[in-house]
Amino acid sequence: MVSLLLLLACAPDPVEPPAVVDDEIVDRTVRASLAMRGVRPTVDELRSVAADPTQLEALVRGWLDDPAFAETVRDQHAFHLGLRTANIGKLPAIGPLAGQDLGAIAHALDEAPLQLIADVVTTGRPYREVLTTSDTMADPITAAAHGLAHEPRGPTWQRTPWTDGRPAAGVLADTAFNQRYMSSNTNFHRARAAAAMTTFLCRNLLDAASPTLFDPAGAEDAVREDPQCLACHQSLDPAASAFWGMHPYILSSDVIESYESGCPDDAYCLPLPFWRNDEAQGWRDHDLPAPGWNEEAVDGLAGLARAWADDPSFDRCTARRFHAWHTGRNVDDVPDKIVSELTAVLQAHEGDVRELVVASVLHADLGTAPRRLLRPEELARTIERLTGFRWEGDPDATSTRDDPCVVGCYGLVDLARSDAHGFRTLLGGVDGWDILEPAHGPSPTHALALEWLTDEAARHVVSVDTQALLPDRRLFLHVEPDEIATAAPVRRQLAHLHAAILGELVDDDHPSVARTEDLFRAVEAEEGPAAAWEAVVSAMLQDHRVVLP
């Protein structure tokens, strides 16, 4: 344990805030950081912007290299594409996946298309590649599941081409996307086409049309003849025809049964036979229109993907979606004027989304948008960045477990990001299946889960900072958390926590610091300094400036 004197001697010289801090620029910096990374700026970053607001753009550009930016891109697209569901399109731990945790398998399968999108975005390649590339991303699990190349000595996720001859159509050709949007004998891939159109062209046919069907026995006639139906099906059906060749769906039970029967021909053993080239013309057998877009024929799914990427609405939709994510709005609620401004930026930079993101988070609209509920993924990332704490649990180790490891154990769960075992939806998030609209406000379960998370995070950071020397400490720079301190260092530490956690650049004698000192002293008197610091950190992590920035 280092002494307080040594601690004070080693404390870094902070960047002093200006005499009068511009709260607006500080808040904008916090919002920009949360929007593009899901983490808060450091104290030094806030102070540098407070001292010179023109530094914000440089900060934002620097954040593009933060791995949290790629994570945020994946979070955003998981939301828009309805991926990361708990129970759709998963695989058992069988065949080449034997021994893998079920949770890891489920995570990897849905993560592959998201990794592809993040790779396109973070490397500055044209965003259209998310629809047109012939590649996917593979980790050891998806490589085994889909029969893809993977270099064991390379990074976990590696860009690699599909090996089964499927069309070059980016995420449209991805197995996880097509498993999520199952097809049926009468759906004819329309759900897939509709979901992709909603995401990439911002054309939500279901919300726009909602025709009142009275006689679905004649539905297939109606979609060709009824003006109410034609409005959408003229666009939808040719696009849906392009998806022929993708399997309607393969259930986990299908895979298990296939292995139990010895993997005969046409069985669903791994690698998963999801692309079937001989079915690519299947639309002909059902009197469906040929693949096409805007009344022009396209060459299968790859042709559709190129046509969509060339469609003027693609760039506008991209701009709309990113800004909607950054501001916490619904996609349809982003003002057209802003969409036009951001679209121009995207096009001026040949589809490099990084420039779009910079323009979006620097836009004045971000600063004036209403407070939004921090998404569960952002909350987990924020708290981990501040405290080093990962909120995890092991369902296989609990005595109340009622899912014995029949075909594999689940593995360690990220509690903020899981629906099957965690609290994502109880924290206001979506589940990609039933819950497609995030909560716009906090709920009682949000409060309870947040308290659990922050209590453990506070205990963690107080514990590790007590054991660590100054350069390695996360939050405690001015006191020993487990020792009683005099008023001055306590107030200095509290002011630092106000800056680091709440984004408030305040002096030691600021009234808000005094109010927090009241909290600290009240707990310290009963339980001692370590518990008091835990209470302060936990309270701050639950503060509205954290959860409703």
Partner 1 sequence: MNPTRRSLLAGLGAMGLFAPLARAAALGPRRLVVIHAWGGWDNTFVLDPKPRENVDGPYVDEDPDDPYDQAAVFTLGGIPFLDDRKRRPAVTTFFSNHAHRVTVINGLHVGAVGHHDGIRRILSGTTEPGRPDLPTLVGASGADDGLLGTVAFSGTARFGPYDDRSIRLGMRGQLRALLDPSVRYPTAPDATVPRPLAPPPAQTRDAVAAWLHDRLDAAATEAADPTSSERLRLRDESLLRAQRLRDAGIASSLPLGNRSTLAADIPAALELLDAGVCRSVLLDSAEPWDSHANHPRQHGQFNRLFANLGRLTTGLIERGMAHDTTVVVLSEMARSPRRNRDDGTEHWPTTSALVIDPAGRRGGRVLGGTDDDLLPLPIDPHTGQVIASGTSLGYDQLAAGLLAHCDVDPEAWLPGVQPMHAAFE
Residues 158-187 that bind partner 1 (CB under 8 A): 184-186
Separation CA 65–CA 72 (nearest Å): 12
Separation CA 342–CA 324 (nearest Å): 12
| 311, 392, 482, 483: which one binds partner 1 (CB under 8 A) | 392
| Structure-token pair, residue 269 | 């053993």
Kindly state the DSSP code that residue 543 receives in the 8-state scheme.
S
**Residue 542 makes contact with partner 1 by CB under 8 A:** yes
Separation CA 277–CA 474 (nearest Å): 54
Give the contact letters, 437-476, x = binds to partner 1 (CB under 8 A), - = no: x-xxxxxxxxxxx-xx--xx--xx--xx------------
* Closer by beta carbon to partner 1, 284 or else 401: 401
Give the binding range for partner 1 (CB under 8 A) out of 285-293, 378-386, 485-493, 518-526.
518-526
Give the binding range for partner 1 (CB under 8 A) out of 42-50, 117-125, 202-210, 274-282.
202-210
Give the binding range for partner 1 (CB under 8 A) out of 126-134, 236-244, 302-310, 363-371.
363-371
Separation CA 428–CA 232 (nearest Å): 32
For residue 468, count CB atoms less than 10 angstroms from its CB and return exposed for 0-12, middle for 13-18, buried for 19 or more: middle
Residue 208 Cβ vs partner 1, minimum distance, rounded to whole Å: 10
Residue 430 Cβ vs partner 1, minimum distance, rounded to whole Å: 10
| 13, 154, 215, 486: which one binds partner 1 (CB under 8 A) | 215
**Residue 435 makes contact with partner 1 by CB under 8 A:** yes
Residue 215 Cβ vs partner 1, minimum distance, rounded to whole Å: 6
**Residue 395 makes contact with partner 1 by CB under 8 A:** yes
Number of residues that bind partner 1 (CB under 8 A): 89
| 426, 475, 500, 513: which one binds partner 1 (CB under 8 A) | 426
Question: Kind of pairing, strands 158-161 and 292-293?
Answer: unpaired
CA 115 to chain centre: 11
**Between residue 76 and residue 95, which ones bind partner 1 under the rule CB under 8 A?**
86
For residue 255, count CB atoms less than 10 angstroms from its CB and return exposed for 0-12, middle for 13-18, buried for 19 or more: buried
Furthest-apart CA atoms within the chain: distance in Å:
84
**Residue 482 makes contact with partner 1 by CB under 8 A:** no
* Closer by beta carbon to partner 1, 82 or else 303: 82
| 226, 311, 341, 431: which one binds partner 1 (CB under 8 A) | 431
Give the binding range for partner 1 (CB under 8 A) out of 280-288, 289-297, 319-327, 514-522.
514-522
Question: Taking the CB of residue 414, how many other CB atoms lie within 10 A of it?
Answer: 18
**Residue 423 makes contact with partner 1 by CB under 8 A:** yes
For residue 435, count CB atoms less than 10 angstroms from its CB and return exposed for 0-12, middle for 13-18, buried for 19 or more: middle
| Structure-token pair, residue 352 | 């490099």
| 393, 474, 482, 483: which one binds partner 1 (CB under 8 A) | 393
Separation CA 124–CA 542 (nearest Å): 36
* Closer by beta carbon to partner 1, 259 or else 452: 452
Residue 122 Cβ vs partner 1, minimum distance, rounded to whole Å: 29
Question: Taking the CB of residue 16, how many other CB atoms lie within 10 A of it?
Answer: 10
**Residue 210 makes contact with partner 1 by CB under 8 A:** yes
Kindly state the DSSP code that residue 124 receives in the 8-state scheme.
T
Question: Kind of pairing, strands 413-414 and 392-393?
Answer: antiparallel
Give the binding range for partner 1 (CB under 8 A) out of 113-121, 154-162, 299-307, 541-549.
541-549
Separation CA 480–CA 493 (nearest Å): 10
**Between residue 396 and residue 415, which ones bind partner 1 under the rule CB under 8 A?**
397-398, 400-403, 412-413, 415
Give the binding range for partner 1 (CB under 8 A) out of 89-97, 270-278, 428-436, 484-492.
428-436
* Closer by beta carbon to partner 1, 134 or else 204: 204
Residue 368 Cβ vs partner 1, minimum distance, rounded to whole Å: 7
The answer to whether 15 and 44 are in contact (CB under 8 A) is: yes
Return the SS3 of 414: strand
Rounded to a whole number of angstroms, the CA Rg of the chain reads: 26
